[in-house]
Structure 1
Amino acid sequence: MNPTQNNPVGVIGLGLLGSALAERLVGAGFEVRVWNRSREKAAELLKLGAKWSDNPLAECSRVVVCLYTTEVVEQVLQTMVPAMQPGGTIVDCTTGDPVGSARLGERLAGQGVGYLESPIAASSEQTRRGQALAIVGGPREVFDAQQDIFAAIAGQTHYVGGWGAAAKVKLVNNLILGLNRAVLAEGLVFAERVGLDPRTTLEVLRQGNAYSGVMDTKGAKMVDGDFAVQARLSQHAKDIRIVLDQASQHGARLPLTELHLELLALGERLGFGEDDNSSIIRAVQHAAAQSEAIGS
């Protein structure tokens, strides 16, 4: 299906990632109808050609949703879904709770609305550049019908199974990615403490067997103290709390992730929650200078 003005696509939630997704859709030629609780966040998208809608589900047969949690998605959709025509599809890019995502999918199916969970494995800047990975769960036939949307918003797309599967894969992804960031932060703090130049150390690390992709995306930000937001530290802390809740429900302890959350919580207490998640290095720096445990 080719994007046309007769087939607008809605976007609900214009935070960092939601705005990037909307930009991708506008750039791909879709007519895009946007909604956000605070309308001012739509200003730049309206300049690019998107249109405001008080309820995109009433105007669009396909709507991309990108909100803070699954609970927020449920709250927002509760008032909007009744206006959607049967046969419509919601593509939910929220990083959320697997159980809640499956429950939402079942409820929407009962209302004649298709639902795909499609959390995005990328920062807002990577998404804007077309480098996002969309991880998709839900009915295969619904996924197959949305290939033009996924081609617009993501560089790669992986279908991983039914409702809940994509949410689980995204949580695994964020667990590993977050630990990579935390380890890089600690390594750079250690390098500086023992008298090394962090920038030179980072250059060496990028060429060796300790390399990881976060050195490219977050290394320079950590070294330069540039915490302009691509993805917020508090957002990642939210995701890690979901990870630990899921682990607890399945009878598992994740000791490294527990320590990671302590660092993230420290960053929030120090006032860095709204900064980029690379600001975890400031929590590590603070902890390195303290004699007490970071969780105290």
Structure 2
Amino acid sequence: MVLRCFFSPVGARHRYAPFPSLCYAALLSDTDYACKETCRMQPDNDPDIGVIGLGLMGTAITERLLEAGWRPHIWNRSAEKTGPLAERGAIPSSNPIADCRRVIISLYSSDVVDEVLQKFLVALKPGQILIDTTTGSPEFSERLAARLQLRGAALLDAPISGSSEQTRRGEACVIVGGDTDSFTQCRSLWPVLGGSVFHVGGSGSAARMKLVTNLVLGLNRAALAEGLVYAASQGISPSAALEVLRGSPAYSRQMDTKGSKMLASDYTVQARLTQHLKDVRLILETAAQSGLSLTLTAAHQQLLERAEILGFGAADNSAVIEAVRAGLQSDVTSH
């Protein structure tokens, strides 16, 4: 398996190139060779790029593209979301696939991607590359890639690990599956989408790896929530507990990105709780297909479902702590 990683150096920033150059490092099999080259965030000789879907992530992606000098052609089912981005230079489109050789897709689920593409793929031409950043079904990615290949086009499943805010700051991790040639044709795009990029194999492989990262990330977040509530139950200040945890072997980046939000009950949305619940259900479904039982993830699903019942589905996923608090209160009242 080939892993290709982009690393963002620390350096001066300016409007069109927040990261002026990136180191491209390839970790290759014994039959290949390692190589390094530099690339820039600026667009190549084809700056027009489509964006289908302007939710939290799609909007953050479009903002990054605009800052880097690309010309995004944007579409969203609710057209009012295109207005603010159009004012900044994005181009509203009735079908980005008809307008651009490369098109980014950022939608809620594979089912939504399938539904939306039904009307757009009529314009598909040989040589086009669709880049699906949706966290979705690996099997769907494989089927869609096969459909596009029959028409001379290509699919890269490229889910983004990180919140919309991390994407906006260029700190997200992009996991890419698909053929190497298509991946290379998009190399000027990758540093716009994330600070690190991994090409993990063929179609569907990135969708699978994204579910792995979401499993671990979600459990880290849930463990932090439970730890903070447990600390409070033991008479320890949650803010003091968070400080100790950050300096201990228990540290995870969720303490930096979600810890203060949990303490302040600030659930301003970076990534919706209900969307992570959708991903957890998909993780359990794919695990069951492999004959695997994921005990911790099943418990996590129940926790997220409790948070959703409490009315936090549309809130930031840090609101999972409210489900832990509710569980503590119900345990206390039942004794």
Instruction: Report TM bin, short chain.
Output: over 0.9
Change (3 A) 1:6 1:101: closer
1:275 alignment partner AA? A
Unpaired stretches in structure 1, ≥5 consecutive residues: none
Aligned length: 292
Residues 52-75 of structure 1, C-alpha deviations (whole Å, 9 max, x = no match):
001011111110001011111111
Give runs of aligned pairs for residues 233-248 of structure 1, distance below 5 A.
Answer: 233-248=273-288
Letter aligned with residue 139 of structure 1: D
Instruction: State the SS of the aligned residue for 2:188.
Output: helix
Q: Identify the match of residue 321 of structure 2 among 277, 281, 289.
A: 281
- 5+ residue gaps, structure 2, are 1-38
CA distance in 1, matches of 2:84, 2:298: 39
- For 2:56 and 2:309, locate their aligned partners in 1 and report how far apart those are by CA, in whole Å: 22
Matched with 1:222 is 262
Quick check: 1:106 aligned with 2:150?
no
Q: Distance in 1 between matches of 2:83 and 2:262?
A: 31
- For residues 246 and 43 of structure 2, the distance between their equivalents in structure 1, rounded to whole angstroms, comes to 41
Tell which deviates more after alignment, 109-118 or 283-292: 283-292
In 1, Cα distance between equivalents of 2:191 and 2:264: 34
Give 2:243's match in structure 1, choosing from 164, 184, 203.
203
Partner of 2:122: 82
SS in 2 for 1:270: helix
Q: Does the alignment pair 1:127 with 2:196?
A: no
Distance, in Å, in 2 between the alignment partners of 1:9 and 1:157 is 19
Normalization by structure 2: what TM-score?
0.85
Contact 1:4 1:29 in 2 (8 A): no
Q: Is the 8 A contact 2:44 2:188 kept in 1?
A: no
Q: Which residue of 1 aligns with 2:192?
A: 152
Between stretches 59-68 and 77-86, larger displacement belongs to 77-86
Looking at structure 2, the residues matched to 249 and 148 of structure 1 have their Cα atoms a distance apart, in angstroms, of 37
Match of 2:109 in 1: 69
Which residue pairs with 2:36 in the alignment? Answer: none
The one-letter code matched in structure 1 to 2:141 is S
**What is the rounded CA distance, in whole Å, between the counterparts of 1:23 and 1:191 in structure 2?**
39
Superposition RMSD on alpha carbons, in Å? 1.4
Higher helix share: 1
Identity %, equivalent residues: 49
Q: Is 1:25 matched with 2:65?
A: yes
Q: Write the mapping of 1:37-56 to structure 2, written as runs, cut at 5 A.
A: 37-56=77-96
Mapped contact 2:174–2:197 kept (Cα < 8 A): yes
The answer to whether the 8 A contact 1:11-1:32 is kept is yes
Deviation at 1:6, TM superposition (A): 5.7
Give how far 1:88 is off.
0.7
Deviations 1:69-109 (A, max 9, x none): 11111111121011132111100000001111111111111
Give the Cα–Cα distance (whole angstroms) in 1 for the partners of residues 211 and 249 of structure 2.
25
Confirm or deny: 8 A CA contact 1:5 1:30 kept in the other structure: no
After the TM superposition, list the runs of 4 or more consecutive aligned residues in structure 1 that deviate by more than 3 angstroms: 4-7
Read off the aligned partner of 2:160 and give its amino acid letter: I
Counterpart in the other structure of 2:132: 92
Q: Could you say what secondary structure the match of 1:271 adopts?
A: helix
For 2:205, the equivalent position in structure 1 comes to: 165
